[in-house]
Amino acid sequence: MKHILSILLYTIVGLCIMLIILPATVRTMIVSGKGPDISVENNMDDEAITQSSYQIKQDIDAMIQAKAEALEAANTISAATITKPITAQRLGEVSIDRVGIQMNLYFGDTTAILSIGAGMYEGSALPGYPGLKLIAAHNGKGQFGELGSVVVGDLVTITMPYGTYTYQVKESKVVNANDTTTYDFTVKDDKLILYTCYPMYYSSATDQRLFLYCDKVSGAVVK
């Protein structure tokens, strides 16, 4: 009996000593029977994750912005490097591969110019600049005679000394030759109109014109 009492006494004394030397937080847990309070640590972890996610998003946004700026710079030509053409100067070529059109392109649309190739009206904006480009050619074979075979979706290519520009046909229509409402030189986008006399391959003068309206799809921007 004495042996049992001694064991109990030593056990109680040992527990008391442990409670004295243990940290206050551990003593509280033992006495209360509750587990550790980790809510503060969890809150700190959540805050760290939120900050880390925000920083990652900022880094990704910065990378996207830098790539966009680099792409824009690579697709931009300085206007200072381009000299305004003079009348009858060869600009390059205009072509529509699907129907076999390929012609030299000149600045101006006088009778003399149209006798040797396609002519861009001098009030036009050059390719790469915002605004309308108005290009004409006769309706004979080897000229714009195949313009009547062009359909919506066909691609028109204009090759300039400073770059190649692609336009897509969006609409075609026959208009009166004197109808000035069929084009608008105040547009801000890079637009193209090709036109020729109508009916096609008609050798005499006519009072109708076939117009093809095109939107730019590729090519460097001139600034």
Burial degree of 94 (CB within 10 A; 0-12, 13-18, 19+): buried
The DSSP output letter for 180 is G
Grouping H, G, I as helix, E, B as strand and the rest as coil, residue 109 is coil
Q: Are 154 and 169 in contact (CB under 8 A)?
A: yes
Structure tokens at 183: 């084009």
Residue 100 φ/ψ region, left for φ over 0, alpha for ψ in the -120 to 50 degree band, beta for the rest: left
Provide the annotated active-site residues: 138, 197
